[in-house]
A and B are shown apart, each in its own frame.
Chain A
């Protein structure tokens, strides 16, 4: 993973190739029917989209940093997070190892 800007993974050709199956699955979550199918049988749904082991483990962990490492792009991952009612502040807190309140406070502090 290219990370020369600290804490930032550029979603480039390497990541796009690596994460294609994972992102394709997350893209399918635009449909309510597909979101329900995932909830009903997560393993079968991941298999249908051809996720590799690393991606399946990342999906199972619900860990956004791991999902990014497995090639996920945040715009598609946000659709995945939406299934669990998580917004970008929730996933921001998760990725930075803080509580949602702390994460929000940090954002507010950036405005002062």
Chain B
């Protein structure tokens, strides 16, 4: 049976890709952010996931406003990155797991999530940067991925509750998967930031804290915020937290935060890295 080992929430700011390419991890500006990954590396080396299910939002690489799905699930053998137009290096391709993808797709549709199914899908920095942060270096990443994209670009966006429930459906699907796999769930983006308008540069430390504090033990408490409330509290692009809600939803066991790093600013963003462990019944039996 598949085991959900836990979840990682991380910022995906494009300039991180540039910093990695230029080897700036230890510069005074970047160090407080990158050092937050030391524990992540230790944890991943210990937990050894085989697959990562990655909740993220596309910023106009694979999807445009002509056809913009609210939820889209990748079902490809390989996911390429391409030129995103803002000068960050193109990342290497990532390996897919179409069998797991279709298992998730079948479960999600049965659960009445009418997702878009993508057999050919480019992934942007919101996938490639977290992968490079979790497994740095030039080698191909040691996990296969299933990318799940959530629309955070064009309103109306799905609610926090809807994204939490999407994650729960994914979690149930993984729990019922017969292959012996160790599965990591990733939610990327956030936390508070706003790029556009006269309020550009808006950051809300208190609200970010509240979101991170509630996420492990009481994610339902956050569903009282509407998308409008969330934009007000976390900034126009702070709604990327929807990806974190879905990640949390997929953790079906007893969830505890084992690591948190929070640093302001990286680019225009409050940068956060969180590791949540999923103490599932299946896992305790195995141990």
Of the A-B pairs whose beta carbons lie under 8 Å apart in the complex, a sample of 29, sorted by A's number, is: A5-B232, A7-B197, A8-B199, A8-B236, A9-B196, A10-B236, A11-B236, A12-B155, A13-B156, A16-B65, A23-B65, A27-B64, A30-B84, A31-B83, A65-B198, A73-B65, A73-B153, A75-B59, A75-B60, A87-B86, A87-B267, A88-B268, A89-B268, A96-B200, A108-B265, A110-B203, A110-B265, A111-B265, A111-B270
Label chain B's interface by main secondary structure: loop
Cβ–Cβ contact A24 & B264, under 8 A: no
**CB 8 Å contact bits of B54-72 with A (1 = contact, 0 = none):** 0000011100111000000
B117, CB-defined interface residue at 8 Å: no
| Contact call A82/B87, Cβ cutoff below 8 A | yes
Q: How many of A's residues come within 8 Å of B, CB to CB?
A: 47
Proximity bits, A35-63, B CB within 8 Å = 1, else 0? 10000000000000000000000000000
Write the nearest CB–CB distance from B47 to chain A, whole angstroms.
Answer: 30
Q: Contact between B60 and A30 (Cβ–Cβ < 8 Å)?
A: yes
| In the complex with contacts A74-B195, A107-B203, A11-B155 CB distance below 8 A | yes
User: For residue B66, which residue of chain A has the nearest CB?
Assistant: A24
Contact across chains for A92 and B201 when beta carbons are under 8 A apart: yes
Whether, in the assembled complex, A70 has its beta carbon less than 8 Å from a beta carbon of chain B, the answer is: no
Instruction: Please give, as numbers and ranges, the residues of chain B lying within 8 Å of A78 by CB-CB distance.
Output: 59, 85-86, 195
CA distance A31 to B83 in the complex (A): 7
Tell whether, in the assembled complex, residue A92 and residue B270 are in contact, meaning their CB atoms are under 8 Å apart.
Answer: no
Residue of B nearest to A79 (CB): B85
- Majority-rule SS of A interface residues: helix
Chain B residues with Cβ below 8 Å from A99 are: none
Q: Answer yes or no: B128 CB below 8 A from chain A CBs.
A: no
B179 at the A interface (CB under 8 A):
no
- Assuming the contacts A11-B155, A108-B264, asked whether A30 and B198 have C-beta atoms less than 8 A apart, the reply is no
Task: Select the residue from B59, B201, B268, B270 with max chain A CB neighbours within 10 A.
Answer: B201
A24 to chain B, nearest CB (A): 7
- Tell me whether B270 and A13 are in contact (CB under 8 A): no
Given contacts A7-B197, A10-B231, A76-B60, contact A87 B15 (CB under 8 A): yes
Q: Select one of A12, A27, A65 contacting B197, CB under 8 A.
A: A65
A85 smallest CB distance to B (angstroms) = 7
Q: In the docked arrangement, what's the CA distance between A79 and B125, Å?
A: 13
B155 touches A13 (CB 8 A): yes
CB distance from A96 to the nearest CB of B (A): 6
A102 to B87 Cα, complex, angstroms: 24
The residue of chain B having its C-beta at the shortest distance from the C-beta of A2 within the complex is B155
In Å, the complex CA distance between A47 and B131 comes to 39
0 or 1 for each of B145-160: is its CB under 8 Å from A? (1 = yes): 0000000011110000
Q: A5-B232, A106-B201, A111-B264 are in contact. List 12 more A-B contacts (CB 8 A).
A: A5-B228, A6-B199, A7-B197, A10-B155, A11-B154, A11-B155, A12-B156, A30-B84, A35-B85, A75-B60, A111-B203, A111-B263
